[in-house]
Amino acid sequence: MPNSESRGSFRELTLAAFVDQLASGEPVPGGGSASAVAASLGAGLLAMVATLSQDRPKYAAHAPLHAEAIEAGRRLTTRFLDLADDDAAAYARFAATLKLPRQTDAEQAKRREAMSEAARDAAEVPLAMMEACLELVSTVESLVGRSNANASSDLAVAAFLASAAARGAAENVLVNLPSVDDDAYRGEATADVMHMLDTIEQLAAEVHEKVRSGSPRDPLSG
């Protein structure tokens, strides 16, 4: 596999090539990029269900929601694929700090500072991924009962993928925080992770429950 400086974007790979790289002994792509790709599939499903619901008289009252969901799904698909690349780049930067010299006290201090900055950057990427997962599962939930019932199971899958991706992102935030030399940041980031993860999982559970009920819902107000 080419190194992170020359490999280009993961979006340029075939699915088979990405999986082959994931299965290799190279450090990237890893769990962060895999989580982002999984979320991109969920976003694609969101756009698909909304598209399948457009121009159908039965769902005409929800047309504005369908248009918004299509836009969100396509935008988030791109966002998640960008985050897959960002995660790999952030890990490469952190890995580079581990190779810095540490023979003298000055070198050790410089290395610790560089590691702290790189770890913070590496935590910011999965934090951004969790924010995007929250938007994804929120939009998925809004479509349940307001979209093509024949594709309702695809909304459940999208919610599963968003939840799984958020869990993966959460792990990547938490694994980087111990290397960040900022107590306040570590505390705030941990609280943000836990709050977002709880919200995402609650919304995903609501999606599954509402998909199983099969009940139609009133149009969104406002």
Looking at per-residue pLDDT, the higher value among 25 and 168 belongs to 168
Query: In this predicted structure, what is the pLDDT of residue 5?
Result: 44
Asked if residue 92 has pLDDT above 70, the reply is: yes
Q: How much is the average pLDDT of 98-122?
A: 95
Look at residues 72, 68, 206, 66 and name the one whose alpha carbon lies nearest to residue 148.
66
The predicted-structure confidence for 14-60, as pLDDT tens digits, reads as follows 999 999 999 999 888 999 999 999 999 999 999 999 999 999 999 99
Q: Which residues of 175-187 are buried (b: 16+ CB within 10 A; e: fewer)?
A: ebbebbeeeeebe
Asked if residue 114 has pLDDT above 80, the reply is: yes
Q: What angle do CA 129, 202, 71 make, to 5 degrees?
A: 50
Query: In this predicted structure, what is the pLDDT of residue 222?
Result: 63
Query: In this predicted structure, what is the pLDDT of residue 221?
Result: 83
C-alpha 68: how far from its chain's center? 19
Q: Using CB atoms within 10 A of its CB, is residue 31 exposed (0-12), middle (13-18) or buried (19+)?
A: middle
Asked if residue 1 has pLDDT above 60, the reply is: no
Asked if residue 3 has pLDDT above 50, the reply is: no
* Domains annotated on the chain, with CATH: 28-213 (1.20.120.680)
Query: In this predicted structure, what is the pLDDT of residue 7?
Result: 61
Q: Could you give the C-alpha distances from 94 to 82, 111, 166, 169, 173, in angstroms and in order?
A: 19, 11, 22, 17, 13
The predicted-structure confidence for 137-159, as pLDDT tens digits, reads as follows 999 999 999 999 999 999 999 99
Cβ–Cβ under 8 Å, residues 49 and 148: yes
Q: How confident is the model at residue 76 (pLDDT cuts 50, 70, 90)?
A: very high
* Total number of residues shown for the chain: 222
Q: With left for phi above 0 and alpha for psi between -120 and 50, is residue 65 left, alpha or beta?
A: alpha
Asked if residue 82 has pLDDT above 70, the reply is: yes
**Four-CA torsion 6, 10, 13, 15, nearest 10 degrees:** 150
Q: 195: which 2 tokens?
A: 């709050």
